[in-house]
């Protein structure tokens, strides 16, 4: 792994890179990018894996003008320019899936394959009910039960974390609220733009995901041309963390195919 800071649109972004080969840009979920996760090494066995921390997440700066997922999508398109990446495969997890979907509607020709993992970003159900449970209103234990197949094994032990690690968790949550609170976890305009996506797209979901239902994922997938849906067994909202080998196998088979 190499770790660096790159300035894009006046924002200092924390950037981790792994491996070599065809480039894959992987956009993390609300928990941020963790270099300790096994999925990084598994993807990097055959790919150049590029993992930025979103503005306001991890150690990346947050300018006062940035307040939406759409803003981040533009920042990452400029990041691709800075890195000399004319085209990439794109993996987006949860909120990262939303960012990835926005990017793929803006410059569809720049993405060879698209993998959206438990993505948010569109409204598929009735206007009087949330498609995604209110993460900000749930007690931590209840939220962990929605996030993980095995919360006792996967949920972070807050008492064991350093002050820096705890501050990053709080900062990630604050930024998530800034960009996704209102309207909650979606852009009303995105569903009307998804027909522009040209890359073959794989929607992935853990079979025990308590945040993203199977109905929601399939309704989302129907908005994207040339898409398919698959499930990772014995995993919750973060299948790339809970079942990294199964996730890597599914992702690489799709990318290679």
Q: Where are the domains of the chain?
A: 2-256
**51 backbone dihedrals φ, ψ, rounded to 5°:** -125, 95
DSSP helix/strand/coil, 221: helix
The answer to whether the CB of 243 falls within 8 A of the CB of 206 is yes
pLDDT per residue as tens digits for the range 28-63: 999 999 999 999 999 999 999 999 999 999 999 999
- Give percent of the chain with pLDDT exceeding 90: 96
What's residue 193's pLDDT?
A: 98
Residue 78: pLDDT band with limits 50, 70, 90: very high
C-alpha 43 chain-centroid distance: 15
Cα–Cα distance measured from residue 149 to residue 131, given in angstroms and rounded to the nearest whole number:
20
H or E segment to which residue 215 belongs = helix 214-221
pLDDT at 197: 98
- Here the contacts of 130-135 (C-beta below 8 Å, separation 24 or greater) are 130/184, 130/185, 131/185, 131/186, 131/213, 131/216, 132/184, 132/185, 132/211, 132/212, 132/216, 133/210, 133/211, 134/184, 135/30, 135/176, 135/211
Regarding the domain delimited by 2-256, which CATH topology (the fold level of the hierarchy) does it fall under? Rossmann fold (3.40.50)
pLDDT at 187: 98
- Taking the alpha carbons at both ends of the chain, their separation in whole angstroms is 26
**SS3 label, residue 66:** coil
Note the pTM of the prediction, 2 decimals. Answer: 0.97
203 versus 156: the higher-pLDDT residue is: 203
What's residue 156's pLDDT?
A: 87
Residue 214 neighbours by CB distance under 10 Å: 12
Q: Are 132 and 120 in contact (CB under 8 A)?
A: yes
Cβ atoms within 10 Å of 111's Cβ, excluding its own: 21
Structure tokens at 181: 């609170």
The pLDDT-based confidence of 120 (bands split at 50, 70, 90) is: very high
Measured between alpha carbons, how far is 237 from 147 in angstroms, rounded to an integer? Answer: 5
Calculate the alpha carbon distances from 101 to 1, 47, 106 in Å. 27, 21, 9
pLDDT, tens digit, 9 for 90 and up, residues 188-235: 999 999 999 999 999 999 999 999 999 999 999 999 999 999 999 999
What pLDDT score does 11 carry?
98
């Amino acid at each position: 792994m190499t770790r660096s800071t790159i300035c894009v649109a006046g924002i200092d972004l924390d950037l981790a890179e792994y491996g070599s080969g065809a480039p894959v840009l992987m956009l993390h979920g609300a928990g941020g990018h963790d270099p300790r996760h096994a999925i990084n090494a598994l993807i990097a066995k055959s790919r150049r894996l590029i993992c930025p921390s979103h503005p306001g997440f991890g150690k990346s700066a947050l300018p006062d003008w940035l307040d939406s997922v759409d803003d981040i999508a533009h920042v990452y398109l400029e990041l691709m320019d800075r890195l000399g990446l004319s085209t990439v495969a794109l993996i987006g997890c949860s909120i990262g899936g939303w960012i990835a979907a926005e990017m793929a509607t803006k410059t569809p020709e720049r993405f060879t394959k698209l993998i959206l993992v438990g993505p948010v970003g569109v409204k598929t159900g009735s206007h009087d009910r949330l498609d995604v449970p209110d993460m900000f209103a749930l007690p931590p234990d209840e939220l962990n039960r929605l996030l993980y197949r095995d919360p006792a094994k996967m949920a972070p032990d807050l008492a064991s974390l350093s002050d820096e690690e705890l501050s990053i968790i709080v900062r990630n949550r604050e930024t998530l609220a800034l960009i996704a609170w209102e309207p909650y976890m979606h852009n009303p305009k995105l569903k009307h733009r998804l027909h522009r996506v040209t890359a073959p797209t794989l929607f992935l979901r853990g079979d025990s995901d308590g945040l993203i239902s199977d109905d929601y994922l399939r309704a989302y997938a129907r908005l994207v041309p040339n898409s398919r849906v698959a499930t990772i067994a014995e995993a919750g909202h973060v299948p790339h963390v809970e079942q990294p080998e199964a996730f890597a196998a599914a992702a690489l088979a799709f990318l290679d195919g």
